[in-house]
């Protein structure tokens, strides 16, 4: 029986910063961003947006096409947790009026945990074949001002429905996994921005690419030319190019840039969306010009710290009838552009405190974060 991603949808934020504005304000050659990092813009949240409002919007779009009574589990993957105890998915469950007979839990391991959630969902459906599992990957990458990571910020959510006989992609059994205890990127409980060893994180990512690939090969004997397109985690899209080059060197064959090109189209404009980034890569690949029916994709998921996984997915015949490029175009194009100064004001105004406050009403999205009352985060449906 095939199990995989039956349907998916996305959301991002109200605002966007064009990296040309950042380059001008900081007196940096814009080509460092466009070519050196492979990024053009990044999504910036309004004060009344967070991982719950983005995740809920993505789920709402997805569930317009499905019967929510079949959902048995909600897995919310994020490294932008809003509470140390309560899963962000429980807020989404409430906002969407999902059935109470649902297991809801949050997954965390830097940018990797969306993949852990998907594999958990696939294993659940293998046992309970009529069940459907909702996986939400939602994150806001917020680095310190003037840090190396600042131009690679971004935000977005991808909601995915995992079922038997999927319409989009079958997740094939057996993947390559790799864990290495490395301090390349981490965010302590008392910090709203991560600590990053930038260069170490590039090396750790590339080591993990090879480690996870070798494990995949030893488990299943996959050959490099069994794979039609490669999708690598994209903290900035140049990183996918580095991984692609490293993999080609490792296996000793030439892998042309066209094998990864289409997967980067959306992330260039969203910036880093951490757990959602690889899945925005998948969305972009499915929306590309290539006819992928019956073709195998190789997906590499990396989360600093580090945990990673190389797995394969086969695109299903008829998938074209189940993709919605207009939703992505709408989300990207409706963002309101901010100046560099406005972006820095929004960045500085981030409030992670649990004292009472109300947020200004800005977002035009279906759900908003209204503020905190008696230590409880308040959400509204608009
Ligand atoms: N035109 C074209 N390219 C340019 C350029 C210009 N004017 N100026 C610089 N570049 C290139 C550099 O050559 C480099 O390319 P390379 O990596 O292929 O050699 C790239 O732009 C980045 O320049 P660099 O000086 O290394 O940038 P940086 O010191 O500001 O830091 C990161 C880059 C990735 C380390 C930093 O953005 C970061 O810490 N990011 C967050 C962590 C992260 O995402 N890690 C990834 C693994 S999870």
The 10s digit of each residue's pLDDT in 101-157 is 999 999 999 999 999 999 999 999 999 999 999 999 999 999 999 999 999 999 999
Closest listed residue to residue 185, CA positions, set 136, 239, 137, 135: 239
Where does ligand 1 bind, in terms of residues with CB under 6 Å? 29, 31-32, 35-37, 148-149, 152, 196, 198-199, 201-202, 205, 235-236, 239, 304
pLDDT level of residue 262 (50, 70, 90 thresholds): very high
| Gap from CA of 308 to ligand 1 centroid (Å) | 22
Burial class (CB in 10 A: 0-12, 13-18, 19+), 125: buried
Residue nearest to atom 45 of ligand 1 (CA): 201
Which two structure tokens, joined as six digits, stand for 349? Answer: 């105004």
For residue 249, the CA-to-ligand 1 centroid distance in Å is 21
Kindly state the average pLDDT of the residues 348-353: 94
Ligand 1 pocket test: pick from 20, 33, 36 the residue with the most ligand atoms within 8 Å of its Cβ.
Answer: 36
Beta bridge partner(s), residue 296: 314
What whole-number distance in Å separates Cα of residue 2 and Cα of residue 366?
Answer: 34
Q: How far is the CA of 378 from the centre of ligand 1 (A)?
A: 38
pLDDT band, very low/low/confident/very high, at 179 (cuts 50, 70, 90): very high
Compute the average pLDDT of residues 320-334: 97
What DSSP element (H or E) covers 155? Answer: strand 154-164
What is the per-residue pLDDT for 56?
98
Q: Which atom of ligand 1 is nearest to the CA of 111?
A: 48
Q: Considering only CA atoms, which residue is closest to atom 30 of ligand 1?
A: 148
Distance between Cα 146 and ligand 1 center (Å): 14
Mean pLDDT to the nearest integer, 161-176? 98
Q: What is the pLDDT of residue 112?
A: 98
Percentages helix, strand, coil for the chain, rounded to the nearest 5? 40, 25, 35
Q: Which two tokens stand for residue 367?
A: 């759900």
User: Do 92 and 136 touch, CB atoms closer than 8 A?
Assistant: yes
236 band by pLDDT with thresholds 50, 70 and 90? very high
Provide the pLDDT for residue 234: 98
Helix runs in the chain, H state only: 19-26, 30-31, 51-63, 88-96, 113-127, 198-220, 237-251, 267-270, 277-287, 325-333, 340-348
Among protein residues, the one whose CA lies closest to atom 17 of ligand 1: 36
Which whole number is the average pLDDT over 220-242? Answer: 97
Nearest CA to ligand 1 atom 32: 198
In tens, the pLDDT along 291-319 reads 999 999 999 999 999 999 999 999 999 99
pLDDT value of residue 10: 98
Residues with catalytic roles: 79, 111, 233
Residue 4 phi, psi dihedral angles, 5° rounding: 175, -155
- Nearest protein CA to atom 24 of ligand 1, as residue: 36
Span 191-214, average pLDDT = 97
Mean pLDDT for the stretch of residues 32-45:
98
Question: For the purposes of burial, counting CB atoms within 10 Å of the CB of 295, is it exposed (0-12), middle (13-18) or buried (19 or more)?
Answer: middle
Task: Name the band, by pLDDT with cuts 50, 70 and 90, for residue 381.
Answer: very high
């Amino acid at each position: 029986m095939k199990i995989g991603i039956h349907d998916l949808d996305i959301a991002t934020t109200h605002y966007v910063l064009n990296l040309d504005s950042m380059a001008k304000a900081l007196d940096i050659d814009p080509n460092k961003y466009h070519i050196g990092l492979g990024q053009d813009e990044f999504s910036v949240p309004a004060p009344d947006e967070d991982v719950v409002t983005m995740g809920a919007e993505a789920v709402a779009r997805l569930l317009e096409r499905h019967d929510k009574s079949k959902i048995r589990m909600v897995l919310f993957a994020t490294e932008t947790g809003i509470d140390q105890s309560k899963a962000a998915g429980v807020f989404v469950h409430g906002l969407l009026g999902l059935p109470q007979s649902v297991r809801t839990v949050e997954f965390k391991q830097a940018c990797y945990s969306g993949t852990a959630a998907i594999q958990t969902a696939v294993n659940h459906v293998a046992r309970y074949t009529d069940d459907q599992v909702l996986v939400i990957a939602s994150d806001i990458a917020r680095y310190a001002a003037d840090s190396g990571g600042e131009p690679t910020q971004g935000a977005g959510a991808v909601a995915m429905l995992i079922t038997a006989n999927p319409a989009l992609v079958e997740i094939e059994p057996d993947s390559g996994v790799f864990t290495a205890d490395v301090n390349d990127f981490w965010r302590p409980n008392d910090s709203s921005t991560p600590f990053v060893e930038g260069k170490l994180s590039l090396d750790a990512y590339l080591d993990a690419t090879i480690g996870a690939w070798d494990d995949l090969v030893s488990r299943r004997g996959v050959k490099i030319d069994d794979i039609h397109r490669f999708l690598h985690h994209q903290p900035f899209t140049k990183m996918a190019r580095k991984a692609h080059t490293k993999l080609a060197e490792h296996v000793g064959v030439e892998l042309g840039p066209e094998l990864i090109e289409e997967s980067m189209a959306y992330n260039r404009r969203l910036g880093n969306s951490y757990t959602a980034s690889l899945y925005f890569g998948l969305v972009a690949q499915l929306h590309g010009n290539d006819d992928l029916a019956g073709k195998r994709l190789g997906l590499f998921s990396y989360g600093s710290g580090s945990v990673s996984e190389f797995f394969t997915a086969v695109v299903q015949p008829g998938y074209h009838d189940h993709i919605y490029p207009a939703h992505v175009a709408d989300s990207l194009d409706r963002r309101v552009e901010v100046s560099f100064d406005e972006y820095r004001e929004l960045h500085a105004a981030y409030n992670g405190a649990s004292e009472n406050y109300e947020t200004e009403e800005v977002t035009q999205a279906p759900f908003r974060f209204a503020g905190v009352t008696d230590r409880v985060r308040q959400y509204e449906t608009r």
